[in-house]
Amino acid sequence: MKLNPSFLGIALSSLLAIDLWASKRLGVCAGEGSAWGSARPLMKVIEISGHGVPWLLGTFYGLCQSDSSAAREVLLNLLFALLLDLVLVAVVKGLVKRPRPTHNKMDMFVTISVDKYSFPSGHATRAALVCRFILRHLVLAVPLRVLVVLWALIVSISRVMLGRHNMTDVLFGLLLGYALYSVVEHCWLSPLSAPALFALWSH
């Protein structure tokens, strides 16, 4: 069975229209005068918790302070994952060039040129990537594991609530981050595969 190209175009246009409409309705913290405008400061704190800069700085600091070779291996791969995420998201944003939602306020925390584009959500990719990484490589009690998953979901949802992204930006970002972790695992850096790199961090 072949689908009519015009039908596909209409279907995609309809889905895009629904995405834009629903995203605007869900942007309840997009401004101080929005339905949940009073929660906007809290949403911006959540926004920072998923931003690349704190994660990069924290991981780098941990690398510099760690005395354990096992911990350094995990942190070095987390740093690799975060850098790979930044590059990939920037490339996709530059290629797709989807504008931010019209109701978004450009008051985001530490932005670069491609951050004027919306697709995909870098916060969502990072949240999914970091969530999988932590659950795989840190030994955590069940309540903490649940909190990590909730954090990733809340960061992703906050992107739509703040008006930063449309829903499809976030959904694709989550899928991309989830898949990106598999790439990191496949390319896992170890003292055997990258001895020169690990030598830089040896004390």
Which position among 123, 137, 186, 203 bears the catalytic label? 123
165 is a catalytic site residue: yes
Which position among 51, 165, 186, 203 bears the catalytic label? 165
DSSP string, the chain: ----HHHHHHHHHHHHHHHHHHHHHH-TTSSTTSTTGGGHHHHHHHHHHT-HHHHHHHHHHHHHH---HHHHHHHHHHHHHHHHHHHHHHHHHHHH-PBPPTT--S--SS--GGGGB-SS-HHHHHHHHHHHHHHHHS---HHHHHHHHHHHHHHHHHHHHTTSS-HHHHHHHHHHHHHHHHHHHHT---TTT-HHHHHHT--
Query: Active-site residue numbers?
Result: 123, 165
